[in-house]
Amino acid sequence: MSIFKPADILIPQNTDHTKWSVVACDQYTSEPEYWERAAQIVGDSPSTLNLIFPEVYLDGDNADERIENINAQMRKYLESGLFRKLQDALIYVERTQSDGRTRKGVIGMLDLEEYDFTKGSQSKIRATEGTIVERIPPRQRVRRNAPLELPHIIMLIDDREKTVIEPIASKKADFEKLYDFDLMLGGGHLTGYLVNGAAKTEIISALDALENKDRFEKKYGVRGKGVLAFAAGDGNHSLATAKTCWEEIKKTLSPAEAETHPARYALVEVENIHDDALEFEPIQRVVFGCDPEKLLSALVSHYNASYEDNGGQKIRYTYGGKSGAVYVKNAPSNLPVGTLQLFLDEYIAENGCRIDYIHGDDVVEKLTKESGTIGFMVERMEKNALFETVIKDGALPRKTFSMGEAADKRFYMECKRIK
């Protein structure tokens, strides 16, 4: 049985889609001004901004009230007839990014029974990075009583021959165009098409072929490993939250009820890691509430690192208008970001600083002009190494990579019932 399926997808009708669609809630977490601008654009119009909890506000005093308002707004939208229901549907999407290139994807639902985000997992659906379990409970609070889910989850497939998504582009003229609009605040453009019956069958069959165990073992040169069919690209913690909530719900259901319960499935967008427009960008670190020189000195001492290029892993830093790099030989991780994260986890636990994960070197440089703040920057990893690394070595260090800059993250558009 396929683990990726068509879904009963809800899309808004008779609305301004530019105002409806906002960027993923885990973006611009140190830039409240972005979310303030989004709120000004939305005004009183129907919008996914009213259905999500931007993480920039997670530490606010009114979290419970905000969550209640989110759930109430979901019910209001459902009862008002705002949504058009696309039954047993797949949606083919084209996203024109801020750089002008077009990224392609297919929206459907994944079976959470085939997903395991724990370390060492051999499930068909896996996390690519270490899951920060502390980030799940706040998201659970939002999802637990929500009648709807809005995905910013992007799942990756390693389809080197481009057999799943790319053939759909030549057939889109035969599909109903569902939406075609500009995304707010420089987010690019989004177009969606309702995939017809024959094309749906072709997509599912091509995905099933990627799960063939003999083909998988030959492709990666492995034996005795579980087939990795879908790897989380974006929205890792949202997917982990969906899984955690499903495990709670499942305990209350009979086996027959669990087979068809809507919370068992998570709505996602699937993209091919070999899409020419898909780029991996590094996620940088900014530490707040610290003594930058003390922290930097501790990093150098911890790894016996050098300020001179000694052929080791390069970690750049910036604070108070100063910048430079340290080099770590005999590093404990294969990736500089892993080496950096191991140190920061230990240092922050002992010294009580706060860390944020930032997209874009320019944002890091802006934030670190403030006193008591230091930023660290590493080079991006190659996307073609992702699947093989996860299969052979397990999940990468958390927050290793980002699929594009913040402006090119997935915007909310489609919904699915989970109750």
Does 194 lie in the same domain as 171?
yes
pLDDT attached to residue 402? 79
Q: What would the two tokens of residue 55 be?
A: 């993480």
Residues 129 and 274 in one domain: yes
pLDDT at residue 1, as a whole number: 64
Instruction: Note whether residue 395 is domain-resident.
Output: no
Q: Say what the pLDDT of residue 133 is.
A: 67
Q: Are residues 318 and 176 in the same domain?
A: no
120 & 267 share domain: yes
In 10 A of CB 117, how many CB atoms?
23
In 3D space, the residue among 116, 323, 332 whose CA is nearest the CA of residue 230 turns out to be: 116
Same domain, 9 and 53: yes
Tell me the CATH number at 359.
3.30.1760
- Which 3 state secondary structure label does DSSP give 125? strand
Task: Please tell me whether residues 137 and 184 are part of one structural domain.
Answer: yes
User: How many domains are there within the chain?
Assistant: 2
Would residue 186 count as lying in a domain?
A: yes
298-326 exposure pattern, b = at least 16 Cβ within 10 A, e = fewer: bbeeebebeeeeeebbebbbbbeeeeebb
**Same domain membership, residue 148 and residue 260:** yes
Torsion of CA 113, 119, 123, 124, to 10 degrees: 100
Handedness of CA 245, 251, 253, 254 (dihedral sign): positive
- Same domain, yes or no, for 287 and 181? no
Q: Which domain holds residue 118?
A: 4-279+404-417
Q: What is the pLDDT of residue 281?
A: 83
Mapped onto helix, strand or coil, the DSSP state of residue 374 is: strand
pLDDT at 280: 85
Residues 307 and 361 grouped into a single domain: yes
| In-domain check, residue 299 | yes
Contacts of 157 (CB under 8 A, 6+ apart): 164, 207, 210, 229, 230, 231, 270, 271, 272, 273
pLDDT value of position 388:
86
Instruction: Report yes or no on 84 lying in a domain.
Output: yes
**How many other CB atoms sit within 10 Å of the CB of residue 44?**
7
**From first to last of its 419 residues, what are the pLDDT tens digits of the chain?**
689 999 999 999 999 999 999 999 989 988 999 999 999 999 999 999 999 999 898 887 888 899 999 999 999 999 999 999 999 999 999 999 988 999 999 999 999 999 999 888 999 999 988 776 677 877 888 899 999 999 899 999 999 999 999 999 999 999 999 999 999 999 999 999 999 989 999 999 999 999 999 999 999 999 989 999 999 988 888 999 999 999 999 999 999 999 999 999 999 999 999 999 998 888 899 999 999 999 999 999 999 999 999 999 999 999 999 999 999 999 988 789 889 999 999 999 999 899 998 888 999 999 999 999 999 999 888 888 889 888 887 888 777 887 877 788 899 999 999 99
